[in-house]
Amino acid sequence: MASTGQPWLMRIVYLLICLVLLFVQLLPLDTVPKVWAAPELVVVVTFAWVLRRPEYAPPFLIAMIFLLADLLVQRPPGLWAALVLLGSETLRNRAPGLRDLTFPVEWLTVTTTLIVMTLGYRIILGVTVVDQAPLGLSLIQLVMTLIAYPVVVLITQTVFGVRKISPGDVEAGRQRI
């Protein structure tokens, strides 16, 4: 098992996916304000990867990607990045337990994590008296993000081959995960 070479390769793949998503977000296609909000795909991809192969999405990389995203898309710098980092770490710790359970359980976990993150984000912004996005719009975004999760998971598994570690892998490679 190419345990030394492959993580780096897959980390680069993860970084590239996030950069491409960010790039698509920045394309000047819609300059008219919309009544709905697109899902936040970078977060979804991050969670999907963290739950499947935590070693492909190390915390430092996540922090850098989301800090860059914060700076580029005009969010308050650092806050959302810190929350995503905390959320992904929570999921990372729960990943071994979730490995044997079904997908709906995983989806539910991601849902609660995202809701807590969004709530925390809005509360912190409220406490520090920063201008906030309209509540309706961020709720729409939250729902869209959650709907997008299964699709992203499907793509992650089929196209990029990032799957949960199966017993076969464990026997081949490691004792303890």
Partner 1 sequence: MAKDRGHTGEFTGPLKRLLFGVLVLCLLGLFLLWRIDSPRVERFRAQVTDRVVPSFDWAMGPVTGTVNILRDFQSYTRIYQQNQELRRELQQMKAWKEAALQLEQENARLLDLNNVQLDPRLTYVTGVVLADSGSPFRQSVLLNVGGRDGIVDGWAAMDGLGLVGRISGVGNKTARVILLTDTSSRVPVTVQPSGQHALLIGDNTAAPVIDFIEDADQIRPGDRVMSSGDGGVFPAGLLVGQVAEDPGGRMRVRLAADYERLKFLRVLRDYGNDGIADPGNLIAPRVLTDPTETPETADGAAAEGGNG
The answer to whether the CB of 145 falls within 8 A of the CB of 82 is: no
- Tell me if 65 contacts partner 1 by CB under 8 A: no
176 burial level (CB within 10 Å; 0-12, 13-18, 19+): exposed
- Eight-state DSSP code of residue 35: S
- Tell me if 176 contacts partner 1 by CB under 8 A: yes
Q: How far is the CB of 104 from partner 1 (least distance, A)?
A: 28
**Tokens representing residue 74 in the block:** 């005009």
Q: What is the total residue count of the chain?
A: 177
Among 8, 23, 103, 107, binds partner 1 (CB under 8 A): 23
Show the site string, 68-107: x = touches partner 1 by CB under 8 A, - = not: x--xxxxxxxxx-xx--xx--x------------------
Q: How far is CA 162 from the centre of its chain?
A: 14
Nearer Cβ to partner 1 (60/167): 60
Backbone angles phi, psi at 15, to 5 degrees: -60, -45
- Tell me if 141 contacts partner 1 by CB under 8 A: yes
Query: Given the rule CB under 8 A, which of 9-17, 43-51, 133-141, 156-164 is the region that contacts partner 1?
Result: 133-141
The answer to whether the CB of 123 falls within 8 A of the CB of 83 is: no
Query: Given the rule CB under 8 A, which of 30-38, 46-54, 97-105, 152-160 is the region that contacts partner 1?
Result: 30-38
- Tell me if 167 contacts partner 1 by CB under 8 A: no
Q: How far is the CB of 103 from partner 1 (least distance, A)?
A: 27
Q: Is 111 helix (H, G, I), strand (E, B) or coil?
A: helix
Among 9, 16, 115, 130, binds partner 1 (CB under 8 A): 130
**Which residues have CB under 8 Å from 169's CB, separation 6+?**
1
What is the distance between the alpha carbons of residues 44 and 146, in angstroms, rounded to a whole number? Answer: 8
| Residues in touch with partner 1 (CB under 8 A) | 3, 22-23, 25-34, 36-38, 59-60, 63, 67-68, 71-79, 81-82, 85-86, 89, 128, 130-131, 133-134, 137-138, 141, 173-176
